[in-house]
Structure 1
Amino acid sequence: MREGQPTMKDPGHAPAGVNPMIPNTARIMDYLLGGTEHYAPDRAIGDNAFVNWPGETGGIEGVRVDLHAARDALGRIVGHLAGECGIRQFLDLASGLPTMGNTHLAARAVAPGCRVVYVDSNPSVVAHGQYLLASDPDTVFLEADFNDPKDILTRAATTLDYSQPVGLVLFGVLHFVDDADGPQRILDDLLAAVPSGSYLALSHFAKDEADTAMNAMLTEMDKQTGEAVTRRTRTEVERFFDGMEIVAPGVVETELWRPPAGASGPKPLPMWCGLARKR
């Protein structure tokens, strides 16, 4: 957030194109992650919609555990790309708001010169993100359909140089693409546009091969929230990286992707994440 910028708790400071009275998933996530880019309706949903959330902790605190586990894993992966891998440009699809350690913040904590293109299909999220990034010439926010990667790539080319490696970030999006809608086609189009040495980072709601009771509970939760979610096994998620060099430790649960020494805390619900390099 820009220094001196009012928090989004006051509807009078809503950016153009943002209706503070209509709850928004990205702002609810920001609230649950401990951010400031949210309004009273977002907080009301966040406080009341997750009382039956499953998991070791459960309820709203369980949601917070799960969201922090995913965002922390994103930060570690992006930090690894900007550090050890030398990646200086990122394309983050279905990104949500650029707050709370999201890609440009995680990358620049390691390498300040990184360029980032965020993409989301929700006009309110895009308007809010563009407002937050208005003074940042190296970060742009595009409104585009995730299912049209060629359009995204064309428009992102004004910021990204496809002759140099790119970090493709698809955290929390592929599980919204049914097998019949061709998630692999989307990945193939993205990877075809970037050179060898580029990376694909993703996270994905998990289907646990060994826990049928948890799978049934999560499927019922998806029905209650109205989300069209395709949960996949570790093996199914690993197939998204076919033909690439998977970076250790492979496809694992979010809290297990290179955790900091001594890390501990409540176990989040299973969500796979992984990173791989294009040969």
Structure 2
Amino acid sequence: MSEIRPNSIERQLMGERPDIDLTRPSAARVYDYYLGGAHNFAADREMARQAIGMWPELPLIMQANRAFLRRAVEYCAAHGVHQFLDLGSGIPTVGNVHEVARNADPTAHVVYVDNDPIAVTYSRTILGDDRQTSAVQEDLRHPDAVLAAVRDLLDLSRPVAVMMVAVLHFVTDEDGPADIVAAYRDAVPSGSHLVISHATHDGQDTQADTHQDLYRQRTATPMTMRSHDQVLRFFDGFDVVEPGVVHLPLWRPASREDVGDHPERFAGLAAVGRKP
């Protein structure tokens, strides 16, 4: 294993936040690397390269997930949602929620929530003085704390798109992910939407298990892949819109070319639900 040496940004952060261990990869920053972003550190890049070495299609899977996010935000905006609560948002690199939402609706408000302090610091730097977009450091596993933190940033009496994109697989069964989702469902009004993408072992081989093991060993956020039926249960209390819970490229693709010949090779499920 090559030596991990901090770059200038990392050295600056080490001085400002000595409590943060930059030698341990972060799921948010590894994801940023997969998408070609620049907001990641040496430890994140090393882990990502290791993962890609074991599963070469990972960057394509992450890109398919980002494409789903774009289509889901556009769908929500087209169906009367002007507020977006992005939970476990990571770092808002190119093509993230606020950019897509603002293109569809210039008045859209977005709140990013993440428990990674560096992801939040980067987010606030990227967003600058954007008055319609905020970044909050909270843990989505604690809905009461999150909702208290965003209450002055979003109008919870009006429909909200609750975004849980590529994050619930970092919530363990012991943490009760279905109860967590239900708490957010109960906090938003009729007309709100739930957007989920989730890693799955459905249709996969041993690569999926190896990938889970890598996150378990290297990060503070172990991964739990779930089945179609397990993901569907997160939508209790929502009307799941067509085409239901499907592999990432199959959720309302723009063209046949976006689907490809083997959509099941994208080890992620995606769906959108509407609260009646």
Task: Confirm or deny a common fold (TM above 0.5).
Answer: yes
- Post-superposition CA distance 1:51-75 (Å, at most 9, x none): 011xxxxx2xx12101100010011
Which residue in 2 is equivalent to 1:159? 153
Between the aligned partners of 2:43 and 2:171, the Cα distance in structure 1 is 28
Between the aligned partners of 2:50 and 2:181, the Cα distance in structure 1 is 36
Question: Which runs of no fewer than 5 residues in structure 1 stay unpaired?
Answer: 1-8, 54-58
- Post-superposition CA distance 1:73-112 (Å, at most 9, x none): 0110001111x21211011111100112111111112111
Which residue in 2 is equivalent to 1:131? 125
Pairwise CA RMSD? 2.4
Return the offset for 1:221: 2.8
Which residue in 2 is equivalent to 1:271? 268
Paired amino acid for 1:113: T
- Normalising by structure 1, we get a TM-score of 0.84
Return the offset for 1:135: 1.4
Q: Does 1:222 align with 2:212?
A: yes
1:71 alignment partner, SS class: helix
Provide closer, same or farther for how the CA distance between residues 182 and 269 of structure 1 changes in structure 2, counting only shifts above 3 A. same
Paired amino acid for 1:159: L
Paired amino acid for 1:273: A
> 137, 144, 150: which one pairs with 2:144?
150
Which residue in 2 is equivalent to 1:34? 36
Between the aligned partners of 1:145 and 1:65, the Cα distance in structure 2 is 28
Return the offset for 1:30: 2.1
Q: How many matched pairs?
A: 259
Would the aligned equivalents of 2:212 and 2:225 in 1 still touch at CA under 8 Å? no
Return the offset for 1:131: 1.3
Which residue in 2 is equivalent to 1:52? 54
Paired amino acid for 1:272: L
Question: Which runs of no fewer than 5 residues in structure 2 stay unpaired?
Answer: 1-6
Which residue in 2 is equivalent to 1:204? 198
Between the aligned partners of 1:48 and 1:236, the Cα distance in structure 2 is 29
Structure 1 segment 1-279 matched on structure 2, within 5 A: 11=9, 17=17, 22=23, 24-39=26-41, 42-53=44-55, 59=56, 62-82=57-77, 84-208=78-202, 211=203, 214-226=204-216, 228-264=222-258, 265=260, 267=263, 268-279=265-276
Would the aligned equivalents of 1:17 and 1:124 in 2 still touch at CA under 8 Å? no
- Post-superposition CA distance 1:191-233 (Å, at most 9, x none): 111100000000111131xx4xx35441233123325322221
Q: Which structure shows the higher helix fraction?
A: 2
- Post-superposition CA distance 1:159-215 (Å, at most 9, x none): 10011000000011212223332111111111111100000000111131xx4xx35
Provide closer, same or farther for how the CA distance between residues 158 and 182 of structure 1 changes in structure 2, counting only shifts above 3 A. same
Which residue in 2 is equivalent to 1:6? none
Paired amino acid for 2:236: D
Identity %, equivalent residues: 36
Paired amino acid for 2:147: L
- Normalising by structure 2, we get a TM-score of 0.85
